[in-house]
Amino acid sequence: MPLAFIILREIFWEIIYVPVWWYTFGAVRAVSRFLTRLNDGNDYLGWSVWLFNIFTPMYAQTDLTGRLISIGVRIVQVMARSVLFLGWILVVVIMLMAYFLLPLITLFEIFHQWRLMIM
């Protein structure tokens, strides 16, 4: 087989296989990274830990004043961390959407520019 034929066959195979890989195996990896990033955001912010321990008294003060102050501080912390975590969720969802939409946007732009060149 001539070398040029082998090269053209490989190029053609890659052009056909890339979209298939992108939306199958690549999509599985992208969703896996999405879930990992969500878990990393929760670990970094400690949101679930603060929510789980919301009624635990701080500094082992079990009197009424200590418990009220503890609950007030933890509610403020949970609210602030919830806002930050929702912001992180928004960023991660946008990243996942960009992964799935990037090939479509690229194809649209290629055809759009090609149409402008022909006219």
Whether residue 44 contacts residue 20, with contact meaning beta carbons closer than 8 Å, is answered with no
Residue-wise pLDDT tens digits, 3-32: 888 888 888 888 888 889 999 999 999 999
The domain ranges of the chain are: 3-118
- Which residues, 6 or more positions from 75, have their beta carbon under 8 angstroms from its beta carbon? 54
In this structure, which long-range contacts are made by residues 1-8, counting pairs with CB atoms below 8 Å and at least 24 apart in sequence?
A: none
What are the CA-CA distances from residue 21 to residues 30, 101, 106 (Å)?
Answer: 12, 15, 16
Per-residue pLDDT tens listing for the chain (119 residues): 788 888 888 888 888 888 899 999 999 999 999 999 999 999 999 888 888 888 888 877 788 888 888 888 899 999 999 999 999 999 999 999 999 999 999 989 988 888 877 77
The predicted structure's pLDDT at residue 33: 96
